């Protein structure tokens, strides 16, 4: 059996190896003095033993002579022994302890090398080096121990010290990649602080990052250059603020929004980081504040007090006193044992090795290993103890009273906690599952006094993303407070006595919540960015909508048009004929004049429009509770082509209900369950409490009347057996809680399926009333008497690989007054699991495959139930082999499974099949159908089992009836992967069902080929997906298809996927608000997504597309007028509309009517839902395309040319009359164009258009500096304005009417317009 990695003690309070004043380590093996000839693992094997037995001990040499010789040679006879010990430690400071923050951290764990005479005792990497004894090195080491070096140096040295020589190659459990945590002590390796940070910026990065994000858009950069050009006097045109103010306004608004969002994120982080936790402080009260030398805290208090009384000159005599104690009766524990104090620490101050005390409802702040659980006894518990103890008769114990007393506080937990070390946690924010999960403390630490916690060493692997796996060990170092034979190296303590394995059942990851009414003590193993939760979460990023990128491309075209126009105008005049200014100055001035072609108001209008869309979404009564957290991408809701959805809590309610049970010849469902209840009543009826308990082989048969047939008796017996099996084969614990003075009993388990089954057994007459790690009690709901009492011998929990759960129980047959001998009790192995694995485990039959297929077609989750009777010898042989396999470090799970398969999982008696329904969320079926009709391809990504995902996909109609489901699971070879890809290409209409392992293989070796095939399939279901895999799939679809991807989920495990998507939607549900807070949009039910996409998404995109094109038209038309004017005045770069006219045109005279387009809608909501195919048109981007853009460019050129040329022809070219006519027609033209583009009128639109026109008329008297007011008041001005407006507006309107008549849009077809 592989040996566990040798421990490297870290400041254990009682370990003589670390006590500089103790003689416990004054003896040394001969082999230890010759490292060159000693195997690297010799000390570990001799100290703990090995799988093949104990090795012979070599003679030991007293180290006192070595130490005293070193003391004399160093001419330090006058120094105390304490100083001598510090010098010995100081040598190692120069090697391994340079990493630490303070001098107090010299004793640490993990890979550091500590202990007296460390170079002699060093187990790895010493290469026979002699310890230097010069005082210079000691002084240098002491100096360096007070220095703090950069982390990259610290980590390097730690990594070097942590490389064992005798371990196998790279592996998850390789000690070189693992960490050993000294409980309650300082660590040798520096670990990251336990800080949560979701902020995007820091004080230093905010300005540069936000400015970079803003100016990465071309039109922002363009306007920055235009604004900067106005600082040059030769290029200045009009007011400087005309160009700078709009840009500054846009930047301030955008950066202010980013700052506000980031401050809110920091506040949420600060709340979590400032959460207070109770931490156990193991330092002695007299040394806790000073703690000058960590070794001082490791001595017994009697030795420490004696040392304090002795002077420096008396230290050597202390050696003799300690030796006498050691060689006599041993170091006895003083009455003043180290005290354990409770102190409060903020989450950010917690460190690896801290022992925290957690209670019900507390969030786990870091990844921890549970050491101890103790029930928090309440008054109700004390009152119930006497009544409940009668249920828990232990037939093995001769003293029943003692056994009942030991169970006090252990029965009917409130909920879940017990002295046996059990607690429940909620993992909804980590893996998306709402059910509670059972966690246990190891038996080694559960019974350990708090004062001895510092003897514990926890070994775990490197930080990992896998939230469902953990392999490690926990070791309790021998105590110095025993006899000499109890000390390390004595040869009397074996590894099996001091070390036990750790699994996922002994852990609680960060962001899980303690759900039991227990006090849980746990040691922190991983902190901050190394926790499972942090490693599975992708960093947040800024999102920009597809529309913004499209507009960015269009503005580049407009800018090129501006440059070309400027060069052409200068060229027409002639580069050499320019007067006053050189030609490039004129080109630059023209660029500034034509800057309105790329309107900066476009960004302002779009941002205001986004705010309006967000307001509509949040005020919609049909999707109450909707929250818009990212207001920059509402238009993308109308462009979604791929929807990636979580299952649990998103498509389903995660509420299970037992629907059907089949016992071989008869199937029961619905009303037929009453017949099952009658069989159970007859089979488990007991007339008095003194009768023997029911066992599978008991004589309590069904009470049948004279007319009962043999077939009916056989069916009744089968029903009784399967109900009993279902009532016992589970991990469910009954819990009680008080609400409004009433005691409420509920069930908690790691699987909602099990809870549903146990509730069903209660409904048919067999109730689970008590459960702990060793016993289970069932009572009849009909009589209220205890009918079944079993001792739990072993439990084999469900795993994703095994897909089954088993339990070995021993039935009690006696009453409270008498019990049979141990060897006469019935021992049974029960197991339930998926039909795919149970089919080969149960005995041959002819009905299992057919019935499971029938239930699967109904969308039910099937479980096959079987049992096997074991003799006492069979069980003992199994238990012995299983325990040996459990201590294997490498390949532990496989070794344990081989034992289970060999002794238990063969020829099980098939009892029946159950069918459990996972209730769907409200209106999931019609919602999925509507989204599919809208052209959205739906993927379901879940961390659940393959069978569960298949059932939900069928029941939710995600997979159509009759549609072929191609299942790819447990794929390990690349050639097989290629075969599956070829098959999928041949069946493009099938549904792909793939598990996480196979998906990982595809993404690693065939990512492009896989995604090219998968995106063509109508439906893909991925099971057993990690949070990172979900995010990778979203990114891969985005990169390959360049389409918009929406991800929706409700748990903390969906955060990475939501943040990786173009549009992330979080559902506020049972699994908390973590997904909701990280999402761009938050809703309360899945069915709300349809309105969010089909209605609000459609409106947002259509409105923004129309608004963007109209703003471009508004800027382009004024640029065309400027061009015509410049040609008329012989190509001079003089402004047509200056100062207020230019500013007012883009603001008060046209802004409100143009912005009112955000209220327009082409269809009503009923039509959008009735014809979801209308949504499919949006994904092609036709509303804002190059075709529509150039149509608007042509309209702008036509209208601008007509307005300016006609105004110049009907008036004088360079006069105030021309400006008055041209500007008035320009404003009137925009107002009427807005009216022409409106599809559905709104009161606000009318007010904006009419109000703006009246405001313009009212402002004309104040424009005397630009207009000829006398001319404006004449009829000549009026008819010129009307005539030019008619010529400008009638042709575009006529073209629009003709186009709608010849080729009407789809929305007009469905409306019949």
pLDDT of residue 98 exceeding 70, the answer is: no
CB atoms within 10 A of CB 1169: 18
DSSP letter at 687 equals: S
Task: Give pLDDT, residue 403.
Answer: 40
Give the pLDDT band of residue 1183 (cuts 50, 70, 90): confident
Separation between Cα atoms, residue 936 and residue 1098, nearest integer Å = 14
What pLDDT, on the 0 to 100 scale, is given for residue 1291? 93
From the list 1075, 1041, 1037, the residue with the least C-alpha distance to 1058 is: 1075
What is the mean pLDDT of the segment spanning 1095-1113?
92
Quickly count helices (H) and strands (E) in the chain. 47, 35
- For 890-898, the CB contacts below 8 A with 24+ separation are 890/2, 890/168, 890/171, 890/173, 892/471, 892/501, 897/802
Average per-residue pLDDT in the chain? 75
Q: pLDDT value at position 758?
A: 93
Arithmetic mean of pLDDT, 805-811: 92
Which residues are within 8 A (CB) of 954 and not within 5 positions of it... i.e. 6 or more apart?
A: 856, 857, 859
| Confidence bin at 50 (pLDDT 50/70/90) | very low
Q: How many residues does the chain have?
A: 1313
Q: Is the CB of residue 830 less than 8 Å from the CB of residue 807? A: yes
25-29 mean pLDDT: 40
Nearest-angstrom CA–CA distance, 703 and 716: 10
pLDDT of residue 814: 65
Task: Report pLDDT for 1041.
Answer: 92
DSSP-assigned letters across all residues of 1079-1116: SSEEESSTTHHHHIIIIIIHHHHHHHHHHHHHHHHHHH
- Under DSSP, is residue 914 helix (H, G, I), strand (E, B) or coil? strand
Neighbouring CB atoms inside 10 A of 855's CB total 25
How far apart (Å, rounded) are the C-alpha atoms in residues 508 and 422?
Answer: 12
Average pLDDT over residues 866-878: 92
The pLDDT of 613-625, averaged and rounded, is 92
The residues annotated with a catalytic role in the active site are 646
Share of the chain above pLDDT 90, in %: 27
Cα 1252 to Cα 612, 894, 1116, 1147, 1294, distances in angstroms: 20, 79, 21, 10, 25
CB atoms < 10 A from the CB of 740, how many?
5
Whose CA is closest to 1032, among 1052, 1071, 1059, 992?
A: 1059
- Least Cα distance to 716 among 704, 725, 727, 726 occurs for 704
Indicate the range of 158-167, 254-263, 350-359 predicted with least confidence.
158-167
Overall average pLDDT of the 550-568 stretch: 85
Does residue 648 carry a pLDDT above 60? yes
Give bridge partners of residue 1072 from the DSSP assignment.
1069
1019-1023 and 991-995 beta bridge pairing: parallel
The larger pLDDT score, comparing residue 1083 to residue 99, is at: 1083
The least confident of 665-669, 778-782, 853-857, 1294-1298 is: 853-857
Helix (H, G, I), strand (E, B) or coil at 609: helix
**d(C-alpha 1229, C-alpha 1114), whole Å:** 10
**Other CB atoms closer than 10 Å to residue 612's CB: what's the count?**
17
Lowest mean pLDDT among 655-669, 732-746, 1152-1166: 732-746
CA angle 194, 415, 528 (to 5 degrees): 10
Q: Are 917 and 656 in contact (CB under 8 A)?
A: yes
pLDDT at 1022 over 90: yes
- In the chain the first and final C-alpha atoms are separated, in Å, by 83
CA atoms within 13 A on the CB side of 165: 12
More confident residue, 221 or 54: 221
3-state SS record for 218-246: HHHHHHHHHHHHCCCHHHCCCCCHHHHHH
Pairing label, strands 27-29, 786-796: unpaired
Integer Cα distance of 1200 and 495 in angstroms? 91
- The 10s digit of each residue's pLDDT in 815-846 is 543 444 556 688 999 999 888 889 889 988 88
Task: Show Cβ contacts of residue 1214 under 8 Å, excluding neighbours closer than 6 positions.
Answer: 1128, 1129
Task: Taking residues 1295-1310, report their average pLDDT.
Answer: 83
CB atoms within 10 A of CB 1039: 11
How confident is the model at residue 433, as a pLDDT?
62
Q: Is the pLDDT of residue 740 over 50?
A: yes
- Rounded Cα distance, 1203 and 1192, in Å: 16
800 vs 183, 412, 559, CA distance in Å? 32, 30, 58
Phi, psi at residue 791, to the nearest 5°? -100, 130
Please tell me what DSSP assigns to residue 419: T
Q: What is the dihedral of CA 79, 85, 89, 91, to 10 degrees?
A: 40
Pick the most confident of 735-739, 1228-1232, 1297-1301.
Answer: 1228-1232
DSSP type of residue 847: S
CA distance 1145 to 238: 15
Distance, in Å, from the CA atom of 1154 to the CA atom of 1230, rounded to the nearest integer, reads 8
DSSP at 195: -
Q: What per-residue confidence (pLDDT) applies to 538?
A: 66
CA angle 1007, 1010, 1012 (to 5 degrees): 105
CA atoms within 13 A of residue 1193's CA, in its CB half-sphere: 16
Report the 10 Å Cβ neighbour count for 901.
11
How many whole angstroms separate alpha carbon 900 and alpha carbon 902? 5
Which bin fits 156, alpha (ψ -120 to 50), beta or left (φ > 0)?
Answer: alpha
Q: How far apart are CA 298 and CA 283, in angstroms?
A: 9
Residue where the block lists tokens 């996927």:
1057
pLDDT at 708: 59
Closest CA to 681 of 716, 708, 648: 716
Question: Does residue 343 have a pLDDT over 50?
Answer: yes
pLDDT (tens digit, 9 = 90+) per residue, 179-201?
899 998 888 888 999 988 878 88
**Quick one: pLDDT band at residue 434, thresholds 50, 70, 90?**
low
Find out whether 440 and 421 touch, Cβ atoms under 8 Å.
yes
1229-1263: burial string, b at 16+ Cβ within 10 Å, e else? bbbbbbeebbeeeeeebeebbeebbeebeeebeeb
By C-alpha distance, which of 843, 841, 823 is closest to 832? 841
Q: Could you write out the three-class secondary structure of 770-807? A: EECCCEEEEEECCCCCEEEEEEEEEEECCCCCCCEEEE
DSSP class of residue 595?
Answer: G
Distance CA 340, CA 892 (A): 35
Q: Which of 258 and 120 is assigned the larger pLDDT?
A: 258
* Residue labelled with tokens 């004017």: 1125
Residue 605's pLDDT is 85
Task: Give just the sign of the alpha carbon dihedral 176, 180, 185, 190.
Answer: positive
Task: Please report the DSSP string for 986-1028 in residue order.
Answer: H-TTSEEEEEHHHHHHHHHH-HHHHHHHHTTSSEEEEES--HH
Q: Tokens at residue 79, please?
A: 């120094």
Rg of the chain in Å (alpha carbons): 40
Segment 480-522, tens digit of pLDDT: 544 333 333 333 433 345 789 999 989 999 988 898 888 999 9
CB neighbours of residue 469 within 10 Å: 16
- d(CA 81, CA 241) in angstroms, rounded, equals 81
- What is the distance between the alpha carbons of residues 1308 and 1313, in angstroms, rounded to a whole number? 5
For the ranges 141-155, 632-646, 1298-1312, the lowest mean pLDDT is seen at 141-155
Does the global pTM surpass 0.75? no
pLDDT, one tens digit per residue, over 930-940 is: 999 999 999 99
Q: Which of 274-283, 557-566, 632-641, 1158-1167 has the lowest mean pLDDT?
A: 557-566
């Amino acid at each position: 059996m592989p040996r566990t990695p040798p421990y490297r003690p870290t400041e254990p309070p009682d370990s003589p190896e670390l006590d500089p004043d103790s003689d416990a380590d004054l003896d040394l093996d001969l082999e230890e003095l010759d490292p060159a000839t000693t195997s690297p693992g010799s000390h570990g094997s001799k100290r703990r033993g090995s799988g093949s037995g104990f090795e012979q001990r070599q003679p030991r040499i007293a180290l006192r002579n070595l130490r005293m010789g070193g003391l004399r040679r160093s001419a330090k006879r006058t120094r105390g022994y304490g100083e001598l010990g510090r010098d010995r430690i100081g040598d190692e400071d120069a090697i391994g302890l340079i990493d630490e923050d303070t001098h107090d951290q010299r004793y640490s764990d993990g890979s550091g090398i500590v202990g007296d005479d460390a170079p002699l005792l060093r187990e790895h990497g010493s290469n026979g080096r002699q310890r230097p004894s010069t005082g210079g090195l000691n002084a240098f080491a002491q100096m360096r121990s007070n220095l703090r070096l950069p982390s990259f140096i610290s980590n390097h040295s730690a990594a070097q010290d942590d490389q064992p020589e005798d371990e196998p190659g790279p592996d998850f459990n390789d000690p070189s990649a693992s960490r050993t945590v000294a409980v309650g002590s300082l660590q040798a390796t520096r670990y990251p602080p336990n800080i949560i940070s979701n902020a995007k910026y820091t004080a230093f990065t905010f300005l540069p990052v936000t400015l970079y994000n803003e100016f990465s858009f071309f039109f922002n950069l363009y306007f920055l250059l235009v604004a900067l050009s106005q600082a040059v006097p030769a290029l200045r045109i009009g007011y400087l603020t005309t160009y700078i103010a709009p840009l500054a306004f846009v930047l301030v608004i955008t950066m202010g929004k980013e700052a506000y969002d980031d401050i809110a994120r920091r506040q949420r982080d600060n709340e979590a980081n400032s959460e207070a936790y109770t931490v156990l402080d193991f330092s002695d009260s007299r040394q806790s504040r000073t703690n000058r030398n960590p070794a001082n805290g490791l001595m017994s208090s009697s030795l420490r007090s004696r040392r304090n009384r002795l002077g420096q000159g008396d230290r050597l005599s202390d050696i003799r006193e300690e030796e006498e104690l050691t060689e006599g009766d041993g170091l006895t524990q003083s009455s003043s044992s180290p005290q354990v104090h409770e102190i409060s620490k903020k989450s950010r101050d917690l460190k690896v090795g801290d022992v925290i005390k957690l209670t019900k409802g507390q969030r786990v702040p870091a990844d921890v290993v549970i050491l101890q659980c103790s029930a928090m006894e309440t008054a109700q518990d004390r009152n119930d103890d006497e009544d409940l103890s009668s249920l828990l008769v232990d037939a093995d114990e001769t003293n029943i009273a003692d056994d009942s007393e030991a169970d006090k506080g252990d029965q009917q937990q409130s909920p879940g906690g017990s002295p046996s070390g059990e607690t429940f946690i909620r993992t909804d924010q980590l893996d998306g599952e709402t059910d509670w999960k059972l966690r246990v403390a190891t038996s080694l630490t559960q019974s350990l006094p708090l004062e001895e916690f510092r003897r514990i060493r926890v070994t775990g692997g490197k930080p990992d993303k896998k939230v469902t796996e953990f392999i490690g060990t926990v070791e309790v170092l021998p105590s110095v407070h025993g006899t000499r034979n109890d000390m390390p190296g004595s040869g009397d303590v074996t590894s099996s006595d001091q070390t036990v394995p750790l699994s996922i059942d002994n852990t609680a990851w960060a962001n899980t919540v303690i759900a039991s009414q227990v006090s849980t003590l746990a040691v922190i193993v991983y902190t901050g960015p190394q926790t499972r939760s942090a490693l599975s979460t992708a960093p947040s990023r800024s999102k920009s909508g597809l529309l913004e990128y499209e507009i960015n491309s269009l503005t580049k075209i407009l800018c090129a048009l501006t440059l070309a126009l400027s060069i052409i105008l200068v060229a027409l005049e002639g580069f050499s004929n320019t007067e006053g200014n050189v030609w490039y100055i004129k080109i630059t001035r023209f660029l500034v004049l034509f800057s309105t072609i790329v309107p900066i108001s476009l960004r302002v209008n779009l941002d205001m429009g986004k705010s309006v869309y967000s307001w509509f979404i949040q005020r919609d009564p049909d999707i109450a509770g909707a929250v818009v957290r990212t207001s920059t991408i509402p238009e993308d809701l109308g462009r979604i082509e791929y929807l990636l959805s979580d299952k649990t809590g998103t498509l389903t309610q995660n509420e299970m209900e037992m629907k059907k049970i089949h016992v071989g010849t008869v199937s029961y469902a619905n009303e037929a369950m009453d017949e099952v209840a009658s069989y159970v009543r007859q089979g488990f009826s007991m007339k008095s409490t003194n009768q023997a308990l029911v066992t599978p082989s008991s004589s309590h048969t069904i009470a049948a009347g004279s007319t009962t047939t043999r077939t009916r008796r056989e069916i009744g017996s089968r029903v009784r057996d399967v109900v009993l099996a279902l009532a016992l084969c589970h991990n469910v614990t009954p819990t009680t809680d008080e609400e409004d003075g009433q005691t409420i009993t509920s069930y908690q388990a790691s699987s909602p399926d099990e809870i549903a089954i146990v509730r069903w057994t209660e409904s048919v007459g067999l109730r689970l009333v008590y459960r702990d790690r060793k016993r289970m009690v069932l009572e009849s709901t009909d009589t209220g008497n205890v009918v079944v009492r079993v001792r739990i011998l072993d439990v084999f929990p469900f795993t994703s690989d095994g897909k089954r759960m088993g339990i070995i129980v021993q039935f009690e047959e006696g009453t409270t007054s008498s019990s049979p001998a141990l060897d006469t009790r019935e021992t049974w192995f029960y197991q339930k699991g998926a039909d795919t694995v149970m089919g080969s485990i149960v005995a041959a039959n002819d009905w299992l495959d057919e019935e499971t297929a029938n239930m699967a077609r109904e969308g039910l989750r099937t479980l096959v139930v079987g049992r096997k009777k074991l003799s006492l010898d069979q069980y003992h042989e199994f238990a012995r082999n299983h325990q040996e396999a459990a201590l294997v470090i490498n390949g532990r799970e496989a070794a344990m499974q081989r034992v289970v398969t060999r002794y238990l999982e063969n020829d099980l008696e098939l009892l029946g099949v159950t069918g459990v329904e996972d209730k769907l969320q409200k209106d999931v079926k019609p919602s999925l159908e509507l989204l599919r009709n809208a052209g959205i391809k739906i993927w379901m990504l879940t961390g659940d089992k393959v069978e569960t995902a298949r059932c939900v996909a069928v029941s939710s109609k995600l997979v159509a009836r009759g549609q072929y489901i191609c299942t790819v699971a447990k794929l390990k070879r690349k050639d097989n992967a290629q075969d599956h890809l070829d098959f999928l290409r041949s069946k493009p209409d099938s549904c792909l069902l793939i598990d996480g392992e196979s998906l990982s293989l595809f993404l690693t070796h065939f990512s492009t080929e896989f995604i090219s095939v998968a995106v063509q399939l109508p439906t893909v279901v991925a099971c057993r997906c990690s949070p990172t895999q979900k995010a990778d799939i979203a990114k891969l679809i985005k990169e390959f298809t360049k389409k918009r991807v929406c991800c929706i989920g409700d748990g903390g495990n969906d955060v990475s996927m939501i943040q990786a998507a173009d549009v992330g939607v979080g559902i506020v549900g049972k699994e908390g608000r973590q997904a909701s807070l990280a999402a761009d949009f938050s809703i309360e039910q899945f069915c709300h997504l349809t309105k969010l996409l089909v209605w609000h998404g459609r409106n947002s995109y259509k409105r923004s597309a129309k608004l963007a094109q109209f703003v471009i038209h508004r800027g382009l038309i004024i640029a065309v007028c400027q061009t015509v004017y410049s040609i008329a005045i012989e190509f001079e770069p003089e402004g047509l509309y200056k100062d207020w006219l230019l500013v007012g045109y883009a603001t008060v005279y046209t802004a409100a009517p143009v912005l009112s387009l955000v209220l327009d809608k082409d269809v009503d909501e009923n039509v959008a839902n009735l014809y979801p195919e209308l949504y499919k048109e949006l994904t092609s981007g036709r509303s804002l395309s190059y075709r529509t853009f150039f149509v608007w460019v042509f309209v702008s050129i036509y209208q601008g040319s007509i307005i300016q040329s006609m105004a110049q022809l009907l008036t004088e070219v360079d006069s105030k009359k021309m400006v008055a006519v041209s500007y008035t027609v320009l404003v009137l033209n925009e107002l009427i164009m807005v009216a022409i583009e409106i599809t559905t009128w709104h009161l606000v639109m009318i007010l904006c258009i009419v109000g703006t026109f009246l405001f313009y008329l009212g402002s004309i008297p104040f424009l005397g500096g630009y207009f000829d007011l006398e001319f404006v008041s004449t009829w000549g001005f009026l008819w010129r304005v009307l005539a030019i407006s008619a010529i400008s507006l009638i042709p575009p309107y006529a073209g629009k009417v003709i186009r709608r008549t010849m080729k009407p849009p789809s929305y007009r077809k469905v409306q019949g317009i």
